[in-house]
Amino acid sequence: MIKLSPSILSANLSNLGKDIKDLEKFGADMVHIDVMDGRFVPNISFGMPIIKAVRGISNLIFDVHLMIEEPSKYIDEFAKSGADIITIHYESDIHIDRTIKYIKSLGKKAGIAINPATPVSVLECIIQELDMVLIMSVNPGFGGQSFIDYTLNKIKEIKLLSEKCNPSLMIEVDGGINKDNIKSIVKAGANVIVAGSSVFKNEEIEKNISILKEGI
């Protein structure tokens, strides 16, 4: 079963509560929340107060993608704010094994994201500890970029590795996904699809979600 995790980076932030309710109403499985600190990535988005504010209005799984330096410092606060899955970047944490174990000790699901140019092989030792791997298919920082084609092979590689070492692994892909490429991404092995601009385009959430689902 393929899950859809729309990224609220592209939502109408002046009416975020409504957009999140609409996601649930129109068949999304998760809400993808992109946290950016202006250091790990060039952009700044939102943090714990926003997550806390919308937690009470949605039953969807909160899929929190931390694009921040030193994520280990903030795990407690993101857990308290209502995250269900906390994903940190391989590139931003030297002691990532410790941080992953800490996330799980708080009863949350733990994921590692890798940038487009980071090879899948860096995950070999830790894959059994993970609930999710997030393959970035754009350079993180902004919505609306184009899918980087060579990341398709990385999805195939992580799928093979997960079949061998962790069959229940969630394989999430994030960046530049639309109705035209979603099928090949799922075929390569993704089972959680992040989509920002293609879900919120023209504020037609219902129509856009159904078009994406038809494309799978």
Q: Give the active site residues.
A: 34, 174
37 counts as binding Zn ion under rule CB under 5 A: no
Size of interface with ligand DX5, in residues (CB under 6 A): 22
Sign of the C-alpha dihedral computed for residues 117, 11, 107 and 169 taken in this order: negative
Q: Is 131 in the site for Zn ion (CB under 5 A)?
A: no
Comparing CB distances to ligand DX5, the nearer of 43 and 165 is 43
Q: Which of 47, 71, 111, 140 binds ligand DX5 (CB under 6 A)?
A: 140
Q: Which amino acid is at 21?
A: K
Select from 11-19, 57-65, 141-149, 159-167 the region that touches Zn ion (CB under 5 A).
Answer: 57-65
User: Which window, 73-81, 154-162, 185-193, 195-203, contacts ligand DX5 (CB under 6 A)?
Assistant: 195-203
**What contacts 57, CB < 8 A, 6 or more positions away?**
17, 20, 21
DSSP string for residues in 143-193 = SSPPP-TTHHHHHHHHHHHHHHH-TT-EEEEESS--TTTHHHHHHHT--EE
Give the sign of the dihedral formed by CA 17, CA 18, CA 23, CA 25: positive
Letters for 55-94 (x = contact with ligand DX5 by CB under 6 A, - = none) are ----------x-----------------------------
Q: What is the rounded CA–CA span in Å between residue 31 and residue 100? A: 21
In the complex with Zn ion, which residue's Cβ is closer, 109 or 165? 109
Cα Rg of the chain, angstroms: 16
Query: Is residue 63 involved in binding Zn ion (CB under 5 A)?
Result: no
CA 182 to CA 2: how far, in whole Å?
Answer: 11
Nearer CB in complex with ligand DX5: 72/145: 145
- Tokens matching residue 106: 């708080």
Q: Which residue is nearest to ligand DX5 (CB)?
A: 196
Question: Which of residues 23, 83, 185, 195 is near ligand DX5 by CB under 6 A?
Answer: 195
Binding residues for substrate: 7, 65, 141-144, 174-176, 196-197
Residues 6 or more apart whose CB falls under 8 angstroms from that of 124 comprise 161
Instruction: Tell me, residue by residue from 4 to 43, as one string, x for binding to ligand DX5 by CB under 6 A and - for no binding.
Output: ---x-xx---------------------x-x---------
DSSP string, 14-34: GGHHHHHHHHHHTT--EEEEE
Residues that bind ligand DX5 (CB under 6 A): 7, 9-10, 32, 34, 65, 138, 140-145, 174-177, 194-198
Residues that bind Zn ion (CB under 5 A): 34, 65, 174
